[in-house]
């Protein structure tokens, strides 16, 4: 195992833990994006560039964006419901 | 159940999991050792038989055949599911004439606006590049499609348009999604009709390493790119649209 691979593994472990420890969903989406990007670096370090590219676009772009949009939608509904009371 | 008891149960479970994981990982073959026959076969057949240098693309778009059609339609079906769900909800809602929040442009900061504007065109070119070179280098329709989607999203983020519909004609995106999916299926069926198997190549292979080479694989990448870009933008547009909806009877 090369130094790059070892560092990538450690970074992934740290980023994954950070995602689990973040409580606010909006922040969590951003941290999950960073975690997705660190996974992509890991795949690249282990010589899987194709998977790394998919991981960047899905893990670092699409997934956090979807979480934020869905979260915003739920929040909006809560605002409306609170306004009704 | 007290907190202490829960911690003991969790501790036992975590220790057991850690032990099993360590045991399992200890028995893994070392990195890079692989003795599957198909992997070697594909790696050696890709360039001479299909004139494309990206073994992954050739495996998914040629050798694997009809399996890829199922994969291709995962996102398509998911997008339709989201649309049905969100538009069904919308039937019970009205478009808010006066949203609770004042309508503000998406980009409130000048930095976001200038960075978004500066990035949109390069990202678009990068997306086209990744789609077009799918058969030569890592990447392809799926990755390139999401990158293309990001370019439109950057225009939305940088602009003053509240409505993704105006930054991105969503009707055209729905058409792109459908065209991409249909194009993929049709090229696959063309393989059955003209060459004998689903996704089998039926046009000239070209010279190895050229942009136009690899037979139908570049065409398949373009189809997938269109489909992925359309599907993700349609989903994102629908979710963004819902921000400004209030349920009927709220006012």
DSSP B103: P
Q: Considering the entire predicted model, what is its pTM? A: 0.79
Closest CB from B54, B139, B240 relative to A69: B240
Query: In this structure, is residue B54 part of a structural domain?
Result: yes
For B77-94, how does the pLDDT look when each residue is reduced to its tens digit (9 = 90+)? 988 898 888 877 766 655
Query: In this structure, is residue B69 part of a structural domain?
Result: yes
Total structural domains within chain B: 1
Per the CB < 8 A criterion, the answer to whether B128 and B179 are in contact is: no
Task: Give the count of Cβ contacts less than 8 A between chain A and B.
Answer: 52
Confidence class for position B104, pLDDT limits 50, 70, 90:
low
Query: In this structure, is residue B14 part of a structural domain?
Result: no
Please report the pLDDT score of residue B248 as a whole number.
Answer: 43
Query: In this structure, is residue B29 part of a structural domain?
Result: no
Total structural domains within chain A: 1
Residue B247 in contact with partner chain A when CB distance is under 8 A: yes
Please report the pLDDT score of residue B206 as a whole number.
Answer: 82
Q: Which of B201, B220, B86, B82 is nearest to B145 (CA)?
A: B220
- Structural domain harbouring A54: 3-84
Distance from CA of A24 to the nearest CA of B (A): 20
Cα atoms in the 13 Å half-sphere on the side-chain side of A46: 15
Query: In this structure, is residue B24 part of a structural domain?
Result: no
Residue B98 pLDDT > 60, yes or no? no
| Residue in A closest to B142 by C-alpha | A54
Per the CB < 8 A criterion, the answer to whether B167 and B156 are in contact is: yes
Query: In this structure, is residue B2 part of a structural domain?
Result: no
- Structural domain harbouring B221: 35-95+104-250
Q: Which of A79, A76, A83, A65 is nearest to A26 (CA)?
A: A65
Residue B39 in contact with partner chain A when CB distance is under 8 A: no
Contacts of B112 (CB under 8 A, 6+ apart): B157, B158
Query: What is the rounded CA–CA span in Å between residue B228 and residue B93?
Result: 29
**Partner-chain contact A79 B100, CB within 8 Å:** yes
Closest CB from B143, B240, B247 relative to A54: B143
For B178-201, how does the pLDDT look when each residue is reduced to its tens digit (9 = 90+)? 899 899 889 988 888 888 888 888
Please report the pLDDT score of residue B24 as a whole number.
Answer: 94
**Partner-chain contact B242 A80, CB within 8 Å:** no
Contacts of A84 in chain B (CB under 8 A): 250
DSSP B128-155: HHHHHTTTTSS--HHHHHHHHHHHHHHH
**Partner-chain contact B250 A83, CB within 8 Å:** yes
Residue B250 in contact with partner chain A when CB distance is under 8 A: yes
CB atoms within 10 A of CB B42: 19
Residue A81 pLDDT > 80, yes or no? no
Question: How much of chain B is in helix, strand and coil states, percent to nearest 5?
Answer: 70, 0, 30
Distance from CA of A41 to the nearest CA of B (A): 15
Show the beta-strand stretches assigned E in chain B: 93-95, 245-247
Phi, psi of B215 (to 5 degrees): 70, -130
**Partner-chain contact B242 A76, CB within 8 Å:** yes
DSSP B1: -
Residue B150 in contact with partner chain A when CB distance is under 8 A: yes
Confidence class for position B240, pLDDT limits 50, 70, 90:
confident
Query: What is the rounded CA–CA span in Å between residue B79 and residue B129?
Result: 25
């Amino acid at each position: 195992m090369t130094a790059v691979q070892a560092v990538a593994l450690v970074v992934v472990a740290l980023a994954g833990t950070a995602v689990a420890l973040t409580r606010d969903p909006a922040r969590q989406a951003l941290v999950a994006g960073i975690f997705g990007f660190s996974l992509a670096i890991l795949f690249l370090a282990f010589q899987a560039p194709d998977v790394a590219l998919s991981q960047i676009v899905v893990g670092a772009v699409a997934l956090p964006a979807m979480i934020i949009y869905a979260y915003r939608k739920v929040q909006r509904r809560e605002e409306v419901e609170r306004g009704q009371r | 159940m007290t907190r202490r008891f829960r911690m003991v149960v969790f501790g036992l479970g975590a220790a057991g999991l850690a032990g099993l994981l360590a045991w399992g990982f200890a028995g893994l073959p070392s990195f890079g050792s692989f003795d599957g026959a198909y992997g070697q076969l594909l790696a050696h057949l890709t360039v001479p038989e299909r004139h494309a240098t990206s073994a992954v693309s050739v495996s998914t778009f040629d050798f694997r055949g009809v399996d890829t059609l199922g994969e291709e339609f995962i996102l398509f079906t998911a997008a339709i599911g989201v649309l049905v769900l969100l538009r069904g909800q919308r039937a019970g809602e009205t478009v808010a004439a006066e949203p609770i929040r004042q309508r503000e442009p998406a980009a409130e900061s000048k930095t976001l606006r200038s960075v978004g504007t500066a990035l949109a065109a390069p990202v678009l070119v990068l997306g086209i590049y990744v789609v077009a070179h799918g058969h030569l280098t890592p990447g392809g329709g799926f990755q390139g499609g999401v990158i293309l989607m990001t370019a439109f999203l950057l225009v939305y983020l940088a602009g003053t348009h509240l409505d993704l519909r105006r930054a991105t004609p969503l009707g055209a995106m729905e058409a792109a999604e459908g065209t991409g999916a249909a194009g993929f299926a049709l090229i696959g069926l063309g393989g059955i009709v003209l060459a004998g198997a689903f996704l089998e190549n039926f046009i000239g292979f070209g010279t190895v390493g050229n942009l136009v080479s690899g037979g139908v694989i570049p065409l398949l990448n373009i189809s997938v790119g269109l489909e992925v870009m359309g599907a993700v933008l349609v989903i994102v547009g629908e979710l963004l649209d819902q921000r400004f909806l209030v349920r009927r009877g709220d006012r």
